[in-house]
Every structure is written in C-alpha cells, then in structure tokens.
Amino acid sequence: MTSESEKGERIAKVLARAGIASRREAERMIAAGRVAVNGRVIDSPALNVTASDRITADGKALAAPERTRLWRYHKPAGLVTSTRDDKGRPTVFGALPETLPRVLSIGRLDLNSEGLLLLTNDGGLKRRLELPATGWTRKYRVRVHGAPDDAALEPLRKGITAQGERFRPMQVRLDRQQGANAWLTIGLREGKNREIRRALAEIGLRVNRLIRISYGPFQLGDLPSGAAEELRPAILRDQLGIAMPDGTAIPRRQARRKRT
C-alpha cells in the first residue's frame, strides 16, 4: 500500500504553503511556464510532488517551508488589496513595512475601506480562514449618511437582496447619531464583494466610512494605521490549533496552569 507521503501533494498546494503565491495564483504561474519540477517545466497543476522533488519558481529553488506565521495589519483607506493594480493605484503590498517577508492577505478590504487585514506566509492557512465553513464573524464599524432608526435596519437582520444578489442575515446594531451621520456596528459571517455598502444602499443609506474591527477572534484594537504586528505562536496554537515551534517557551503563567 502507498503511504500519503509517497503519494505527495499537489504542486499548487506545495507552492502555496511555501508562501510563493495563493493556490489559485500558483496554478496561473504553472500555466505560464514559470514552475519546474526536477528541471522540467510543467504546464499543469495536476501533478503530485514529494519532499524529494526539486521545485523551482521563476528560476529560484523552493525553500523549505517556514513555520506558519500570522500578522495583524491596519489597512489605511486608499489602498487596493492586491499585489498589483491595472489602474496604477497604490496597493497594500507596496505599503507594508519592509521588515515583513512575502505575505498573502486573508480576504480583502476594498479601496475605500480600512481596518483589520490578516496577513500570512502560509497559503493553506489563507484558504482555510477564507472558507465560509470557518464560520468566523467579521465585525465592522460603519458610518452612514442619514438618521436610521432600528426598524429601518431590520431588513439587514433578516437577509436582503441587493442588485439581484442575496445576502445572509447580518448582525446590526445602531450605536449613535452624530450630526448628519449615524454609526453602526455590523457583523458578517461571509463577506461578499462590497456587501455592506450594497446592502445599506438598498435601504437608502450611503456609507462614508467603513472600518473592520475584528476577524473572528483577532481584533484591530489600538494598532496604528499602516502598522503590522505579528501574532505570537501561542495565539496561533490557542486559536488555530497550530503547533508551536520547537524550543518555544510556554509563558510562565500558562506553564503553572498546565502543571495543575
């Protein structure tokens, strides 16, 4: 019987886990002839590779997979969440601190939105946390022009159709009125393209500021705009079940609890 290690893994998955690109982007790289296995350029992602295979991408050997890492990033408004933009607009990846390695974004925030964006070096983790099945709520602070009352927001809680697309029920709280604007807190379990803006427009409210304040258990907190902060391995272990690197010390308080 052939073991799983002998069968190997799909090449695109290996490239994604190594942080070269997302799985979909890796498939495009393969189709473009930018990936070689054991010296032979491949043009199809339908290939399993093992640890003994020599893989290169754009002529560079694939490094051994780094441990999974995750960052909080406070995205400013005015940046596109992509590696490059056809319209020449500034991108998140062009604005990241130079100390960060090559990273992938978990989900997106549109051009005019700001707040928490998670970044990782692990394409597999990116895909896992983007899946609707993960079930994590994304919360947003939203400023709208107008003076809605609680009843006006009820269609959002029940699920609303905007421009022919059905959106799932949202968690919606009216926080306060501030002059001609109102502040809302909105929670989603599946963020479709410009979902909040489109849903609010359907009930006659125009969004003029949108800030993501959390993604599942991860909070924006007081992280300054434009800053990135790596999450500790212990947090990845506790929240995602990712093993801590060998030799990582357990904090003293946790160690005491563990002994008891």
What pLDDT, in 10s, does the model give residues 165-224?
999 999 999 999 999 999 999 999 887 889 999 999 999 999 999 999 999 999 999 999
Cα distance between residue 57 and residue 192, in whole Å: 32
The two beta strands, 206-215 and 114-120, are: parallel
Q: Select which of 110, 149, 150, 175 is catalytic.
A: 110
110 is catalytic: yes
How many Cβ atoms from other residues are within 10 Å of residue 134's Cβ? 11
Express as a percent the part of the chain with pLDDT over 70. 90
Query: What pLDDT score does 248 carry?
Result: 53
Token readout for 13 is: 């998955």
Over residues 101-110, mean pLDDT: 91
Task: Give the domains, in start order, of the chain with CATH numbers.
Answer: 4-61 (3.10.290.10), 70-133+218-231 (3.30.70.580), 137-215 (3.30.70.1560)
